[in-house]
Structure 1
């Protein structure tokens, strides 16, 4: 049952999500390294999956994907967006000891980089390595291993090649700016837990694709189309703050972002059900769209909870900052240890996919959104103290 139940809710009305498909897609995406700026291969894989689902798509110059489920009307179009890019690192400097200084791609703590296995992609070939603290051996440094500072200036990458000098690194072909991808090390447990790096936001993308499959399966049976054109967008630069800034069409009036939620002390997010964000560091999400998502959860017996994220921004924020006049909302799957070694539960991914499919199938409530500019007629209202 929903976390916040409604008398009108019915489990029979929930879209049917193929969780086996969802997990298989997630495994495939996790297998493909894709830090921001290094996303070509994961874009190709996502496009292949869209083709298999029979969905038309187009890509931008750099690889952001727009796939359209054509509806009964063109406007006011909707969008659902998730991001394919992940965290990673680049080579900042070649060290005299044959190791590499790093700079992060995206915002994540070097605390979670320590001990990570990784791949360095050079101009010609690649090599493997491990990110280590500068003082990595307790047999040499004793207690100093535990008291040294944490940060990107206090780690180095040890490559698995014969390299003890900078000249060795030059010989191997390592160069400043080379991309370093972090192994996800995924585990899919029988009890529904999924533990891996980069679940942000490949798990969200997998849920989006599972929702598309559910909609396609339902459409084949009933011959139905969404009420309006709905764009499924896959951005490639969310982790560096760009995301949806340049990939929306002018027809899109509302956009739901699918991303990770934060499960931690002081947060209401959970690893079960879908978490609907009421606000993030950019301010409140659209009043009407957010409450529509809540009603859809109640009406379709989709487990959910609400939360506010104080140190978080998503594709929704990048769209607004870029000047798009679009209603935005954020739905999330609860992630423990976000931007670290993350854990989620399949229950939350199923709920995210169910809500996504329900949103795409739902009726248009604000007809005025079909026009960019217009009179006051049809404009929305909000509660007053007298209501």
Structure 2
């Protein structure tokens, strides 16, 4: 698990993570979850995030479509860094009006209609919003008997039932319903006494809350960062665009925050931080990833490494857009991703603590301030044969059994 030694090239002389205001993190997360933001309908959540950055006294600017580029000034301008989370979520769009008064829908983002069945939703028309429910075409066993158990799981097998007296296409048109109306799925969040959070859209509202909590910790502490840090909030990650057009040109390294799937064949765990080694677009930067692992080790942040085979994040979009930057990903372990998701406050605190340490750490390489480096000051990955297995010592055992001894011992 996390009994590995600090990666080669790093020492224990690394920044200490800052205390995280967990009441703040939880409240921000719950507020964000109540703000609908399917990709393409994100203005409201952008305005709220801008207001929160103002409350934290953090400067920011907006791109044309609403991605947010914030700035925390460090003692040096370059090579600077970015940390990115996305404000958009999965959702749906009206693609047809049916003669029975129901709506045909198509997904926004990649998710199964299995998790859409029974979901409470809000439809945003040009005349205002309407509530409803996504139901299977064969929704009642009293009417269709065992056929309800054998219908396929596809988006062609569901329809949207409005909470209105509509029984024909004409009724829908009279209410202002039209093809292209956005459909937001209600989050229905719940925080349990055991510290679990059950909700839709933890991807990536929980990640945004972690980033804002880490920013708050830095601002409250008054610590001077070694280089400028740019918290970024993107609005189109779920459709693959993400951080393609939001980066400052002098950013040399970027850490994405996202969800890590907990499932058979995966290492991710709901209660721990996950450091991704690669996603479906390819490996993350070796040096930046090992730096995050070293920071986790030094700060006793319980973590695992994982590989994501059917998954991509903001980092992939940034690289595909032609940005020559180092990328890595820090995740909170999540069960049933893109469905009715569940994570744990331990994982969220761990992510925020790790981000607070990363913001205080020096850049991966001083040569990154130049767009082109000389060979003599370019990084090297270790190639030598490993020596004897060292004793991990009591600190490693403590990191595994008591990942947050101060913050959680009495909770």
Please give the TM-score of this superposition, normalised by the length of structure 2: 0.91
**Matched residue, 2:77:** 74
RMSD: 1.7
State the Cα deviation string for residues 69-93 of structure 1 (Å, max 9, x = none). 1001000010000000001101000
**Matched residue, 1:178:** 181
Q: Distance in 2 between matches of 1:12 and 1:256?
A: 17
**Matched residue, 1:260:** 259
**Matched residue, 1:319:** 318
**1:2 shift after superposition:** 5.3
The runs of 5 or more residues in structure 2 that have no matched partner are: 387-411
Judged with a 3 Å threshold, the aligned counterparts in structure 2 of structure 1 residues 335 and 163 are, in CA distance, closer, same or farther, namely same
Question: 2:288, 2:364 within 8 Å by CA — same for their partners in 1?
Answer: no
**Matched residue, 1:218:** 221
1:65 aligns with 2:68: yes
**1:384 shift after superposition:** 1.9
Equivalence map 1:80-159=2 (5 Å): 80-159=83-162
**1:364 shift after superposition:** 2.6
**1:13 shift after superposition:** 3.4
**Matched residue, 2:292:** 293
**1:199 shift after superposition:** 0.3
Question: 2:6, 2:293 within 8 Å by CA — same for their partners in 1?
Answer: no
Q: Distance in 1 between matches of 2:343 and 2:46?
A: 23
**1:207 shift after superposition:** 0.3
**Matched residue, 1:163:** 166
**Matched residue, 2:381:** 382
Q: Distance in 2 between matches of 1:23 and 1:11?
A: 28
**Matched residue, 1:360:** 359
Equivalence map 1:182-261=2 (5 Å): 182-219=185-222, 224-261=223-260
Q: Distance in 1 between matches of 2:210 and 2:52?
A: 13
State the Cα deviation string for residues 263-318 of structure 1 (Å, max 9, x = none). 00110001112100001111110000000000001111111110000000000000
Q: Distance in 2 between matches of 1:68 and 1:74?
A: 11
State the Cα deviation string for residues 55-105 of structure 1 (Å, max 9, x = none). 000011110001111001000010000000001101000001110000111
State the Cα deviation string for residues 169-191 of structure 1 (Å, max 9, x = none). 11111000000110000001121
Question: 2:287, 2:364 within 8 Å by CA — same for their partners in 1?
Answer: no
State the Cα deviation string for residues 209-267 of structure 1 (Å, max 9, x = none). 00001111111xxxx31100010000000000000001111110000000000100110
Please give the TM-score of this superposition, normalised by the length of structure 1: 0.96
* Secondary structure of the corresponding residue to residue 302 of structure 1: coil
**1:164 shift after superposition:** 0.8
Q: Distance in 2 between matches of 1:215 and 1:268?
A: 30
Question: 1:5, 1:301 within 8 Å by CA — same for their partners in 2?
Answer: no
* Secondary structure of the corresponding residue to residue 67 of structure 1: strand
**Matched residue, 1:330:** 329
Judged with a 3 Å threshold, the aligned counterparts in structure 2 of structure 1 residues 77 and 11 are, in CA distance, closer, same or farther, namely closer
Judged with a 3 Å threshold, the aligned counterparts in structure 2 of structure 1 residues 333 and 246 are, in CA distance, closer, same or farther, namely same
Judged with a 3 Å threshold, the aligned counterparts in structure 2 of structure 1 residues 170 and 3 are, in CA distance, closer, same or farther, namely farther
Question: 2:92, 2:108 within 8 Å by CA — same for their partners in 1?
Answer: yes
Q: Distance in 1 between matches of 2:326 and 2:147?
A: 52
Question: 1:236, 1:243 within 8 Å by CA — same for their partners in 2?
Answer: yes
Question: 2:14, 2:295 within 8 Å by CA — same for their partners in 1?
Answer: no
Q: Distance in 1 between matches of 2:273 and 2:383?
A: 29
* Secondary structure of the corresponding residue to residue 228 of structure 1: coil
Q: Distance in 2 between matches of 1:182 and 1:69?
A: 34
| Structure 1: 4+ residue segments shifted above 6 A | 7-12
**1:377 shift after superposition:** 2.7
* Secondary structure of the corresponding residue to residue 77 of structure 2: strand
